[in-house]
Amino acid sequence: MNIGVASEKSGLPAKTIRYYEDIGLLHPARTDNGYRDYSTADIHRLRFLQRSRSLGFSVDECRQLLSLYQDRERDSADVKAIAKAKLVEIDRKIAELVGLRGLLHHLVSHCHGDERPDCPIIDELAGQGAAQ
């Protein structure tokens, strides 16, 4: 099938599919005239990559997961280790965002928001705030 059909079946834009090919995540066959010819297995790989990316896995992590997906002799412990590392990273990011939210909430609640020039938000952004 051509890239348009592969795009439709996988839910990925053709540009993304070409990118995955460029970085070696996908190796579609080529027709005699040089066009890409995607197989059903390629579509499964593309869907796998799409779901992996939607869970926040990086391209390198997707490369590892795709390799494990294709390896019928894989140890599920290897897959779990990658997923656990991603979970730790997500938890760290959530904690960081909660902290940022708290700081911003504090600054907004302490800004008078009136015609006066003094503003704790500007002070913080300039590195002169009490939160420093």
Q: Where are the domains of the chain?
A: 1-74, 76-132
The yes-or-no verdict on residue 132 having pLDDT over 80 is: no
- Look up residue 101 and give its amino acid: R
Distance from C-alpha of 65 to C-alpha of 90, rounded to nearest angstrom: 18
- For residue 128, what pLDDT is reported? 82
Separation between Cα atoms, residue 117 and residue 33, nearest integer Å: 68
CA distance 86 to 109: 34
DSSP assignment, residue 28? -
DSSP for residue 113: -
Q: C-alpha distances in angstroms, 10 versus 21, 41, 56, 123?
A: 14, 11, 18, 49
pLDDT in tens, 35-81: 999 999 999 999 999 999 999 999 999 999 999 999 999 999 999 99
Supply the pTM of this predicted model. 0.78
Fold of domain 1-74: Multidrug-efflux Transporter Regulator; Chain: A; Domain 2 (1.10.1660)
pLDDT at 20 over 80: yes
What pLDDT does 101 receive?
Answer: 97
